[in-house]
Amino acid sequence: MIIADLLKPEAETNSTCLSSPRHPVTEKLLVTQIQEIQEKEDLVSTSTIGALIQTERFSSLSKLVRVTAWVLRYIRKLRTKARNKKQKVNNTNKTKINGGINDINGGINGINGGINGINGGINGINGGITGEEMLEAKLLWLKDAQSSLQSKKNFTNLQRQLNLFVDDNGLFRCRGRIDNAELPYDSKYPILLSKTKFTELVVLKSHKDVMHRGVKETLNHIRQEYWITQPRNFIKRILSKCPTCRYYEGQNYDYPEAGPLPKERVSYDNAFSHVGIDYAGPVHVTNIYDSDGSTYKAWIAIITCASSRAVYLDLATDCSGPACVNILKRYTNIFGCPKTVISDNGTNFISSDVQDFMTSKGVIWKFNIESSPWTGGFFERVVKMVKRCLRKVLRKAILNFNDVVTLLKEIQCILNNRPLTYLYSDEVNEILTPNKLLYGR
């Protein structure tokens, strides 16, 4: 009889007395069953623990060892019940005339103290898992991991190269030349492990113990107790499946293939003939007419030329349509009406005030696809540059409306003087900038 037979409910056909005490059994069947259990003194062996508990169903070494400890405790409980049944049968034959077997859960008081022994054994089983039980369960899995070592062809070479010996627990350990070192016993004589699922759980535990570091740190932690032959590729393969490391260090999805630039970006028209408009913010500004320090929100209007990459910055008091119309009026009075305007689907851009004003001037307004900011990349990039300048200059300062407008015009001048081409170290000619395309200087 092996462990699996004791745990399967289907095994009741041959061990009815162990699993279903209410069913009548004969004395002969019970005695035979008890003899089978007594003949198998070693119910737990390395050849059965791997077949009983599937390591593939566990992702944690501690959980595997703890479950194994509970299984071993349950098996001891079954063995204790079997021995007590045999004692009860013998005592019943001496005192009862009609024979038979009483319910194993019932008690027969006063027969050589048998029932007291049963209760004491059961009470000792009801507590939590102890450290000794955890060590016993771990020892079983270590033996199971080493069970296939001797059958390997290179075991003789391993035995010679690693100077293997068997310790008091029956485990293969490696002996080096550091016997006299003041190190723990496991560090001086690490346990040899084959590349099994249990070993993978050991690697994962060490990987978590070193805070999800790389192969080198994980291997160093493993070598303090275990020895794995050719470990680096083995550890690297396991660490590549770590969910935490894959989440934080995994490669991003490949970007889709870039499509052709829109015709507005490659046109030979004058500057600001095709533009993109967007809002950034809000920016907190103070009221210049109140001395109480009250603030309100304002938004930065950014208009970018699609071909020359020139920038126009202005400040809007709110996100309404009339405020946007005022921005466009100030812009068109400086640079003239554009042919095409590209923007997102903001409520201020799709308002009737803005659309009526622009269509009256013969401007074609194009909207990007909803929730697709990358389609307006040529002006979204400028938004990032403006925010970077504001963040580093303003920090936490709050200016009034006029000061913010002045600062935006300074940023506009700086961005329009940025180089549009790569700066070579031996460049003789002047660098191409948006201002040179606008004003020739």
Assess whether 268 and 180 both reside in one domain: no
One digit per residue, pLDDT tens: the chain, 441 residues?
344 444 443 333 333 333 334 444 444 444 444 445 444 444 444 446 777 888 888 888 989 999 999 988 888 888 888 888 877 766 665 555 444 444 444 444 443 444 344 444 444 455 788 988 999 899 989 988 888 787 788 888 888 889 999 999 889 999 988 888 888 999 999 999 988 899 999 999 999 999 999 999 999 999 999 999 889 999 999 999 899 998 888 777 777 787 788 888 888 888 899 999 999 989 999 887 777 778 889 999 999 999 899 999 999 999 999 999 999 999 999 999 999 999 999 999 999 999 999 999 999 999 998 888 788 888 999 999 999 999 998 888 889 889 999 999 999 999 999 988 877 766 556 788 898 888 877
Is the entire prediction scored with pTM above 0.85? no
Q: Please give the pLDDT value at position 31.
A: 43
Assess whether 203 and 268 both reside in one domain: no
**2 lies in a domain?**
no
Domain span at 138: 131-246
Assess whether 317 and 429 both reside in one domain: yes
Assess whether 235 and 317 both reside in one domain: no
Assess whether 328 and 368 both reside in one domain: yes
**20 lies in a domain?**
no
Assess whether 421 and 307 both reside in one domain: yes
**32 lies in a domain?**
no
From residue 403, how far is each of 91, 276, 287, 312 by CA, in Å? 104, 25, 11, 17
Single residue among 190, 213, 246 that ends a domain in this structure? 246
Q: Please give the pLDDT value at position 232.
A: 92
Assess whether 369 and 295 both reside in one domain: yes
How many other C-beta atoms are found inside a 10 Å radius of the C-beta of residue 227?
A: 19
Q: Please give the pLDDT value at position 165.
A: 92
- Number of folded domains that form the chain: 2
Assess whether 137 and 221 both reside in one domain: yes
Q: Please give the pLDDT value at position 210.
A: 92
- The CATH number for 195's domain is 1.10.340.70
**383 lies in a domain?**
yes
Single residue among 188, 213, 246 that ends a domain in this structure? 246
**28 lies in a domain?**
no
**342 lies in a domain?**
yes
Q: Please give the pLDDT value at position 30.
A: 42
Assess whether 425 and 284 both reside in one domain: yes
Torsion angle (degrees, nearest 10) of CA 28, 33, 35, 39: 160
Q: What are phi and psi of 273, to 5 degrees?
A: -80, -35
**44 lies in a domain?**
no
- The CATH number for 269's domain is 3.30.420.10
Q: Which tokens go with 301? A: 């209007």
Assess whether 299 and 376 both reside in one domain: yes
Q: Which of 91, 101, 87, 81 minimizes the C-alpha distance to 27? A: 101
**25 lies in a domain?**
no
Q: Which tokens go with 302? A: 């950014």
Assess whether 299 and 410 both reside in one domain: yes
Single residue among 185, 214, 246 that ends a domain in this structure? 246
Assess whether 212 and 332 both reside in one domain: no
Q: Please give the pLDDT value at position 273.
A: 92
